[in-house]
Amino acid sequence: MRILLLVIALALTSMPAAAREEVGPTDPAELETFLAGLLPALMETYHVPGAVFVMVKNGETFFAKGYGYADLETRRPIDPDTTLFRVASVSKLFTATAAMQLVEQGKLDLHTDVNRYLKDFQIEDAYGQPITLHHLLTHTGGFDDRFLRTGLTIGTPIAPLGQYLAERMPPRVMPPGELISYSNHGLALVGHLVEVVSGLSFTEYVDEHVLGPLEMKRSRFFLSVPLSPDLASPYEYKNGEYVDLGYDHDLMGPAAELNTTGTDMAHFMIAHLQLGRFGDQRILGEKTARLMHSQQFTHHPSLDGWCYGFYEGRRNGVRTIGHGGDWRGFRTSLVLVPEAGIGFFISINLAVSGPFYRTLVDALMDHYFPAAEDEPPTPPSDFEERANRYTGTYIPNRRVRGTILKLGEFLGAVRVTAKKDGTLMVRLPAGASAGDYIRLVEIGPHLFREPGGEVDAAFLTDARGNVRHLALEQFAFDRVSAFRSPRVHAILAGFALVLFAGTLVGWLLGGAARLLGGAAASPFSLASRLVAGGVCLLNAVALVGVGYTLEKVNLYDLLIAVPVGLELLLVLLLLSVPLTLALPYFAWRGLTTEQPALLPQLHYWLLTGTALLMLVLAHYWNLLGFRY
């Protein structure tokens, strides 16, 4: 029924809009009717408890309305004036705005080594190139990612931002200015630079120079304790029920901690659409605002890229800039259409997959900015000859490399395959905004487009012409060999688990048979069997346990503390190391002294080789030791 409602709503909203004298919506009542045919159906389909939608146009709030409930228990309705939402990464736009104010004043320079400003710590030297504010604002600093221990339970005292970054700034893992690798820590560092050069704390600076002039009276960084009664409750819909996810503190405050209302966000959008002016206040000069809104980095001239703080988008040939946010039961999107003087903001209180927003934004843009009918690109007749240059496994360039959360690569891997119709199929990670997969048609050297869609992609090559990266709009994926493919590793782990479990069951049944006098004695010594049995048991329990824990644990809680159960599983893996290293000795001893039959001997050697391989893979996935 929910899917049927959504299909009907989309059919209605896809009807041609009436002739307009100006670009975009002209009548708030018409917009309200349009949303009434779309948003409630989307909310029902994706089980969204509540949403706020705000649109601004020509320097004024054009439309603002709440839908559904801020709290399911009390049935408190969403109010665009008072209901507070945690907008997560949309916070970065405020941090970028604050930094650009200081650039305008000459206190920060976009292309100066940030170490010249930092006082209490320094960013490590690497690749013979410094990190600059330009790199940080375009997410091209080249930092590793880090999530573990980046949050605190609500009400816990929060360390100063500079202290946290000094202790926890991720290492540099790639040259700056080459690839986009989205970085929360990078934008948190921007917030600290604001502190250093202004002499104020980040929250004091933003309150005084951004939120205050914009009359965002109900907005603030970091949740106040006790919590405001106007704060929306965050939910997850799981197994047919709503789960309240609660609240936390994010230690990277400038990157994620803004709490705001729909009405307040209208003021921010108006200021940026008016190139820094809100009423008689100005938060940015026109030149600075234009610089902030201009593309500053892209992987390819034909792809959208990053501005300073904003990322670019394109729908029906119309350029947009904006940002999204997703954190612990809240999801937010802010979209500006500069050429039309229009912006819209929507925030919901549910951890929901990307298609909700893709469907909503696409419907809005199709309705108010309809595209001309274009012929879809035709696959080149000779593409099959070079398709294999692009096929393979790609993993997100933005990923965790140094802790146990490297396991996230299993969820983020992208598979590119060639189809017989001359296209490439890109299998996307679960929850991707574009759906499960996209098809790509070659339209130029290493450049591809989605037929009938808006997705452009480019394959980036090294100096020898070998494909090394896949760029999907603003995001980059690294091509990996079969040995580094999460899919291959999953197959190996599955084989190992079957071998370990099967060996244990077989030996237990054989032992029971021998006790009953119904089977011959084992061809291996007791020590050989005990060592092999220990390896099988420890590895089997660890493989099942780690997979189960990461499947069931609330990932947001994992970012605050590692569960005791997971730590115990890591202990089992450590205990397996000396036993695994002893296996080759016992395998050789069985070959030279015990001399069992060929089949048991091959089995023991297979067990030895598999256990050693699992040891290598455990090290590769940061599962040996407590790598947090």
Annotate 92-139 with three-state secondary structure: HHHHHHHHHHHHHCCCCCCCCEHHHCCCCCCCCCCCCCCCEHHHHHCC
Nearest residue to 258 via CA among 188, 167, 197 = 188
Rounded CA separation 12/367 (Å): 10
Rg over alpha carbons for the chain, rounded to the nearest Å, is: 28
Q: What angle do CA 60, 287, 307 make, to 5 degrees?
A: 80
Which pLDDT band holds residue 435 (cuts at 50, 70, 90)?
low
Which pLDDT band holds residue 432 (cuts at 50, 70, 90)?
low
Are 9 and 38 in contact by the 8 Å Cβ rule? The answer is yes
* DSSP letter (8 states) at residue 297: B
Strands 475-480 and 392-396: antiparallel
Q: List, for residues 241-254, the tens digit of each pLDDT value.
A: 999 999 999 999 99
Query: Does 2 score more than 50 pLDDT?
Result: no
pLDDT of amino acid 18:
38
Q: What angle do CA 297, 302, 304 make, to 5 degrees?
A: 50
Nearest residue to 88 via CA among 457, 334, 401, 357 = 334
- Domains, the chain, in order of start with CATH, read 46-368 (3.40.710.10), 383-480 (2.40.128.210), 486-620 (no CATH)
Q: List, for residues 160-219, the tens digit of each pLDDT value.
A: 999 999 999 999 999 999 999 999 999 999 999 999 999 999 999 999 999 999 999 999
* DSSP letter (8 states) at residue 180: -
**Residue, of 359 and 209, whose pLDDT is higher:** 209
* DSSP letter (8 states) at residue 21: S
C-beta atoms surrounding 117 within 10 Å? 15
Backbone torsions φ then ψ of 307, nearest 5 degrees: -95, -155
Query: Does 15 score more than 50 pLDDT?
Result: no
Inter-CA distances, 244 with 70, 234, 247, 328, Å: 12, 6, 9, 10
Rounded CA separation 187/309 (Å): 9
- Expressed in angstroms, the distance from the first to the final Cα of the chain is 45
User: Kind and range of the H or E element at 461?
Assistant: strand 456-461
In the block, residue with structure tokens 């009434």: 36
**Residue, of 13 and 81, whose pLDDT is higher:** 81
Query: Does 14 score more than 70 pLDDT?
Result: no
Q: Which two tokens stand for residue 247?
A: 């609240």
Which pLDDT band holds residue 293 (cuts at 50, 70, 90)?
very high
Q: List, for residues 498-508, the tens digit of each pLDDT value.
A: 999 999 988 77
Query: Does 527 score more than 90 pLDDT?
Result: no
* DSSP letter (8 states) at residue 450: -
**Residue, of 429 and 426, whose pLDDT is higher:** 426
Query: Does 517 score more than 60 pLDDT?
Result: no
Burial tier of 69 (Cβ tally within 10 Å: 0-12, 13-18, 19+): buried
In the block, residue with structure tokens 């939120």: 211
Q: What is the pTM of this model?
A: 0.91
Amino acid sitting at position 252: M
pLDDT of amino acid 564:
87
Helices 355-368 and 2-13 cross at an angle (nearest 10°) of 20
> Please, what's the largest Cα pairwise distance for the chain?
96
DSSP result, 144-158: PP--TT-EEETTPPP
Q: What angle do CA 476, 555, 202 make, to 5 degrees?
A: 75
Are 617 and 493 in contact by the 8 Å Cβ rule? The answer is yes
Q: List, for residues 543-600, the tens digit of each pLDDT value.
A: 999 888 877 777 788 888 888 888 999 999 999 999 999 999 998 887 777 666 788 8
Nearest residue to 398 via CA among 409, 383, 386 = 409
Are 448 and 454 in contact by the 8 Å Cβ rule? The answer is no
Inter-CA distances, 502 with 81, 289, 509, 580, Å: 62, 65, 11, 17
